[in-house]
């Protein structure tokens, strides 16, 4: 099967990717926008404050600051536009079109409680207001037969309703449309021009009408925002090739991104995991935990050989059934606001000061104390640091903000409140790491911790010690690792379709033909977008479950039903502790199309005499002055005793007492705990 698909790819390879003299990875986060420019020989890095209301402005400002010409380079970037639109409820005005009698489909959902023991839950706003939910024919049966065809009267009425309601986008979600998309296509063709349309048979051709409907609505709800943002960026850089990171850790062209907006919901965090994997393989690690702490949130993941994907992710209250890197995100970052709750207890997050006004210490009008302010008050973040190379820190403003909180808490020592803020933030992040390790039966002590993001290094020692992890790694240029991950990620696409029934040896040929067809369709679509397909490979797999189960396990397809069954039984026993004697059902087919990953040559750290501290500063709780080292001056093999602070323009690492750091041959910081 794999050999056949590779032959198909050779036939579809019409163009070779052009030579790129310069590639720029961009991670547009909630607080900072990070840049890594790579010319094949070395890197240049840069940070600017984000402009959430118009993300392209920060990107253009960074490109100008790097001194790049308008021609001759390619941008690969991750974006939070779709994510923020969903979380803030600021997407397009979207109509839902479904079959007669099912207008409340997305409102009813799975009827699962958010809090199992909350007897009086507060009502949740429906994804689509009822007045925007429209009904029509086009109903397909489970056998693929048309039970209620869409009529001309239906089409005329739908078009008129969409105009009257002033819809910017329409999500079409008909029952069993993955078996026959013709009814949804007819509805799409009848809708007014200029309206953004998403069909469930195109967005997610799989069973589960609720999850398919939510994915289709998310795609329509965020599509106009993504389209407008990418159009403005492309208009400002007409000679530049623009690609976008997908949630599954692969890139696609900007032209295709607006049609697949739901695949961009974890765009930035996926870049961080891909960057960590590139670093990990360079230092000989295949199993590790990642922690990416930025200004607004923290994203954690576990990598065991390959980056793990899930089709059971969530964003806020909504399930996201499209494949994405298995990341757990929490609202704890450098900009997370600390406050006293109604009972007088100290809390941290999830509200964030963001980029504007930002933490109090940014001097941009922020008055609430944040995690960054706390680290500055404690001295772990040196007062003379310039965040993003240009943001001066105002220690007085930070102390004033934390001092006001201390007064509300009745605590006389400001530094003790700052310690409490850091401790609570650390516990939030440590618990997130437990969720993706201990809660899944995996011992975090067996995985080194890769910590990055602009704020991650300030907390890495505390987090590792809380979980009993003795080895951590803070990558070189840790503050912009997600942007580096954009450059390291391959281009590609995730494809799927439902094919139900008991899995038997007699279905081998049917499965092979269906997987081959799925791969050919994906390759044809990418070729139509102008992508060169040389070096692409197909990775087929099956979603399987025991008959009667609701959840599936994904198994690699190697052309043999027997192998797939054996692998499934073993995987089920590892995951759940038992195997059953009941028949195994095939649910979905999946094909990952993936191009070659870029090979990046990392510059070696300087050699010679070990670097000396540039200055000594006071850190609260440490009796003697603490040395501050510049990260880019450290030499290969240099050891750093604790406590110490290692600073660079993109991030700061606080080496706590009991730890020892060594600079490896790639310039990464290897930290070991001598206490736990």
DSSP-assigned states of every residue in 102-123 = -TTHHHHTT---SSTT-SSPPP
Contact 93, 166 (CB under 8 A): yes
Q: Which single residue is written with the structure tokens 């910590």?
A: 451
Angle at 109 between CA 103 and CA 111, to 5 degrees: 130
Residues 569 and 637 in one domain: no
The DSSP string of 257-269 is HGGGGGGGTTHHH
For 500-517, letters b (16+ CB in 10 Å) and e give eeebeeeebeebbebbbe
Q: What does the block give as tokens for 560? A: 């043999």
The DSSP string of 458-514 is GTHHHHHHHHT--EEEE-TTGGGHHHHHHHHSPBEEEEEEEEEEE--GGGHHHHHHH
Residue 335 above 60 pLDDT?
Answer: yes
Kindly report the average pLDDT of the chain as a whole number.
89
pLDDT band, residue 7 (cuts 50/70/90): very low
Residues 510 and 544 in one domain: yes
Q: Pairing state of beta strands 287-293 and 324-325?
A: unpaired
522 occurs within a structural domain: yes
Contact 580, 544 (CB under 8 A): no
> What is the rounded CA–CA span in Å between residue 257 and residue 241?
13
Supply the pLDDT for residue 17: 39
> What is the rounded CA–CA span in Å between residue 566 and residue 588?
18
Q: Pairing state of beta strands 669-673 and 471-474?
A: antiparallel
Q: SS3 string of 142-161?
A: CCCCEEECCCHHHHHHHHHH
Supply the pLDDT for residue 166: 95
> What is the rounded CA–CA span in Å between residue 193 and residue 202?
19
Strand order in the sheet with 196-199: 133-136, 94-99, 169-172, 196-199
pLDDT band, residue 639 (cuts 50/70/90): very high
Residue 13 above 70 pLDDT?
Answer: no
Residues 520 and 587 in one domain: yes
Q: How many CA atoms lie within 13 A of 462 on its CB side?
A: 18
Supply the pLDDT for residue 676: 58
Of 594, 626, 648, the residue that ends a domain is 594
Residue 450 above 90 pLDDT?
Answer: yes
Residues 531 and 575 in one domain: yes
411 occurs within a structural domain: no
**Mean pLDDT, to the nearest integer, of 138-148?**
93
495 exposed, middle or buried (CB, 10 Å; 0-12, 13-18, 19+)?
buried
Q: What are phi and psi of 405, to 5 degrees?
A: -65, -40
Q: What does the block give as tokens for 586? A: 């095939």
Supply the pLDDT for residue 357: 87
8 occurs within a structural domain: yes
Sign of CA dihedral 124, 130, 133, 137: positive
Q: Which of 111-125, 149-163, 283-297 has the lowest mean pLDDT?
A: 111-125
Q: How many CB atoms lie within 10 A of CB 8?
A: 18
Element (H, E) at 452: strand 449-452
Residue 387 above 80 pLDDT?
Answer: no
pTM over 0.75: yes
Structural domain harbouring 536:
2-13+491-594
Residue 14 above 70 pLDDT?
Answer: no
Q: Considering its fold, how many domains does the chain have in total?
A: 2
**Mean pLDDT, to the nearest integer, of 327-336?**
90
570 occurs within a structural domain: yes
Residues 501 and 586 in one domain: yes
Residue 8 above 70 pLDDT?
Answer: no
Q: How many CB atoms lie within 10 A of CB 614?
A: 13
Residues 590 and 642 in one domain: no
502 occurs within a structural domain: yes
Residues 578 and 627 in one domain: no
Return the bridge partners of 655, or none.
Answer: 644
Q: What does the block give as tokens for 601? A: 């040559």
Of 594, 629, 653, the residue that ends a domain is 594
Supply the pLDDT for residue 389: 65
pLDDT band, residue 324 (cuts 50/70/90): very high
Residue 447 above 50 pLDDT?
Answer: yes
Q: Which of 114-128, 362-376, 484-498, 651-665 has the lowest mean pLDDT?
A: 114-128
* DSSP-derived 3-state class of residue 364: coil
pLDDT digits (tens, 9 = 90+) for 218-236: 999 999 999 999 999 999 9
Supply the pLDDT for residue 239: 85
pLDDT digits (tens, 9 = 90+) for 22-63: 899 999 987 789 999 988 778 888 988 888 888 899 999 999
Residues 586 and 509 in one domain: yes
Residue 192 above 70 pLDDT?
Answer: yes
Return the bridge partners of 304, or none.
Answer: 287, 306
Element (H, E) at 366: none
Q: SS3 string of 553-571?
A: EEEECCCCHHHHHHHHHHH
> What is the rounded CA–CA span in Å between residue 383 and residue 360?
13
Residues 554 and 502 in one domain: yes
Q: How many CA atoms lie within 13 A of 214 on its CB side?
A: 24
* DSSP-derived 3-state class of residue 179: coil
218 exposed, middle or buried (CB, 10 Å; 0-12, 13-18, 19+)?
buried
The helix-helix angle for 395-409 and 414-435 (nearest 10°) equals 90
pLDDT band, residue 71 (cuts 50/70/90): low
Contact 188, 199 (CB under 8 A): yes
Residues 642 and 568 in one domain: no
Supply the pLDDT for residue 121: 81
Residues 648 and 566 in one domain: no
Supply the pLDDT for residue 424: 97
Q: What does the block give as tokens for 321? A: 């059934």
pLDDT digits (tens, 9 = 90+) for 476-501: 989 899 999 999 898 899 999 999 99
Radius of gyration of the chain, Cα coordinates, nearest whole angstrom = 26
626 occurs within a structural domain: yes
41 occurs within a structural domain: no
> What is the rounded CA–CA span in Å between residue 346 and residue 332?
14
Contact 354, 335 (CB under 8 A): yes
Residues 628 and 580 in one domain: no
> What is the rounded CA–CA span in Å between residue 37 and residue 20?
12
Return the bridge partners of 637, or none.
Answer: none
Dihedral, CA of residue 315, residue 316, residue 321 and residue 325, to nearest 10: 30
Q: Which of 14-28, 445-459, 488-502 has the lowest mean pLDDT?
A: 14-28
649 occurs within a structural domain: yes
**Mean pLDDT, to the nearest integer, of 389-416?**
92
Supply the pLDDT for residue 388: 66
């Amino acid at each position: 099967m794999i050999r056949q698909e590779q032959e198909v790819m050779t036939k579809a390879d019409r163009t070779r990717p052009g030579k790129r003299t310069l590639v720029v990875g961009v991670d547009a986060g909630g607080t900072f926008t990070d840049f890594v420019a790579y010319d094949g020989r070395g890197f240049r890095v840069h940070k600017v404050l984000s402009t959430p209301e118009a993300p392209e402005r920060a990107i253009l400002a960074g490109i100008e600051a790097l001194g790049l010409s308008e021609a001759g380079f390619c941008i690969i970037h991750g974006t939070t536009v779709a994510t923020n639109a969903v979380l803030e409820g600021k997407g397009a005005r979207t109509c839902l079109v479904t079959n007669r009698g099912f207008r409340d489909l997305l409102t009813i959902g799975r009827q699962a409680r958010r809090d199992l023991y909350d007897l009086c839950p507060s009502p949740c706003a429906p994804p689509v207001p009822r007045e925007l939910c429209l009904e029509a024919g086009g109903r397909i049966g489970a056998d693929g037969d048309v039970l209620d065809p869409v009529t001309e009267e239906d089409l005329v009425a739908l078009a008129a309703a969409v105009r009257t309601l002033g819809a910017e986008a329409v999500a079409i979600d008909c029952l069993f449309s993955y078996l026959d998309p013709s009814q949804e296509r007819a509805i799409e063709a009848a809708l007014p021009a200029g309206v953004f349309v998403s069909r469930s048979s195109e967005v997610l051709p799989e069973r589960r009408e609720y999850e398919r409907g939510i994915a289709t609505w998310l795609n329509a709800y965020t599509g106009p925002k993504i389209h407008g943002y990418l159009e403005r960026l492309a208009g400002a850089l007409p000679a530049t090739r623009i690609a976008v990171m997908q949630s599954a850790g692969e890139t696609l062209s900007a032209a295709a991104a607006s049609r697949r907006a739901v695949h961009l919901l974890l765009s930035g965090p996926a870049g961080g995991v891909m960057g960590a994997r590139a670093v990990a393989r360079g230092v000989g690690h295949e199993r590790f935990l990642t922690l990416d702490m930025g200004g607004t949130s923290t994203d954690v993941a576990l990598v065991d050989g390959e980056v793990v994907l899930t089709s059971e992710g969530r964003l806020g209250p909504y399930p996201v059934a499209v494949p994405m890197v298995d990341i757990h995100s929490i609202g704890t970052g450098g900009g997370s606001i600390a406050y006293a709750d109604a009972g007088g207890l100290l809390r941290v997050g999830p509200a964030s000061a963001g980029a504007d006004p930002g933490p109090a210490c940014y001097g941009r009008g922020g008055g609430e104390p944040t995690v960054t302010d706390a680290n500055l008050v404690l001295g772990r973040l040196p007062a003379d640091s310039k965040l993003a190379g240009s943001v001066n820190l105002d220690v007085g403003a930070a102390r004033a903000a934390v001092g006001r909180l201390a007064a509300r808490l009745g605590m006389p020592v400001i530094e003790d409140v700052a310690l409490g803020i850091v401790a609570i933030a650390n516990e939030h992040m440590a618990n997130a790491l437990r969720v993706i390790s201990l809660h899944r039966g995996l011992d975090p002590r067996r995985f080194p911790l890769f910590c990055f993001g602009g704020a991650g290094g300030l907390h890495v020692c505390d987090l590792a010690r809380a979980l009993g992890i003795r080895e951590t790694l803070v990558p070189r240029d840790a503050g912009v690792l997600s942007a580096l991950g954009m450059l390291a990620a391959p281009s590609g696409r995730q494809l799927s379709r439902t094919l139900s029934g008991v899995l038997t040896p007699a279905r081998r040929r049917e499965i092979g033909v269906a997987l081959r067809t799925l791969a050919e369709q994906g390759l044809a679509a990418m070729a139509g977008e102008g992508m060169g397909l040389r070096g692409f490979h197909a990775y087929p797999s099956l979603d399987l479950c025991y008959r009667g189960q609701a959840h599936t396990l994904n198994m690699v397809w190697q052309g043999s039903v027997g192998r797939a069954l054996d692998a499934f039984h073993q995987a089920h026993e590892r995951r759940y502790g038992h195997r059953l004697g009941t028949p195994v059902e095939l649910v979905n087919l999946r094909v990952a199309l993936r191009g070659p990953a870029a090979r990046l040559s990392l510059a070696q750290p300087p050699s010679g005499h070990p670097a000396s501290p540039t200055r000594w500063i006071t850190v609260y709780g440490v009796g003697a002055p603490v040395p501050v080292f510049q990260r880019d001056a450290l030499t290969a093999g240099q050891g750093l005793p604790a406590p110490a602070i290692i600073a660079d323009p993109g991030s700061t690492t606080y080496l706590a007492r009991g730890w020892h750091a060594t600079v490896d041959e790639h310039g990464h910081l290897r930290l070991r705990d001598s206490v736990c």
